[in-house]
Amino acid sequence: MANILIVEARFYEHLNDLLLAGARAAIDAAGHIHETVTVPGALEIPGAVALASESGRYDAYVAIGVVIRGETYHFEIVAGESARGLMALTMDGLAIGNGILTVENEAQALTRARPDEKDKGGEAAKAALAMLALRDRFG
């Protein structure tokens, strides 16, 4: 049984609730346990994963958050740098599922977040578990 840490940027609470529901359901269905920690925004997710990984308590990580395009360049920075940070950690051997939505508007986010539609939270959890299995296979 694996211990999975869900790291969520709780900027859009109603959307995160949907992503979390999907992620938790996928982890529960796979027979694993999970904890959730909250960070201020998507940029803080990679740092939280890195800090948590130092504890040795977790086998895999699920990143959850929503970044909606606004009128400034900030969207590109947050979307790109959060993904880059997670990819760097993955390349260092961590099993991470990236469920940070980067969308144009709330309607797109809702479609992707709802467990009965695109279920990107559940998909991120399944990706983390798949990467964990692959790491165990090659480790």
Q: Is 98 annotated as a binding residue?
A: yes
Q: Is 68 annotated as a binding residue?
A: yes
Please report which residue ranges of 30-73 form alpha helices under DSSP H.
45-53
Q: Is 62 annotated as a binding residue?
A: no
Q: Is 133 annotated as a binding residue?
A: no
Count CB atoms within 10 A of the CB of residue 3: 13
Does 74 participate in catalysis according to the annotation? yes
Q: Is 75 annotated as a binding residue?
A: no
Please report which residue ranges of the chain form alpha helices under DSSP H.
13-29, 45-53, 74-91, 106-113, 120-138
Closest CA to 83 of 105, 102, 56, 57: 102
Q: Is 101 annotated as a binding residue?
A: no
Among the listed residues 14, 32, 34, 74, the single catalytic one is 74
CA–CA distances in Å: residue 130 to residues 5, 74, 139? 15, 32, 14
Give the HSE-up count for residue 39: Cα atoms under 13 Å, Cβ half-sphere. 24
Q: Is 133 helix (H, G, I), strand (E, B) or coil?
A: helix
Catalytic positions: 74
Binding residues: 11, 42-44, 66-68, 71-72, 98, 112
Binding residues for 5-amino-6-(D-ribitylamino)uracil: 11, 42-44, 66-68, 98
Binding residues for (2S)-2-hydroxy-3-oxobutyl phosphate: 71-72, 112
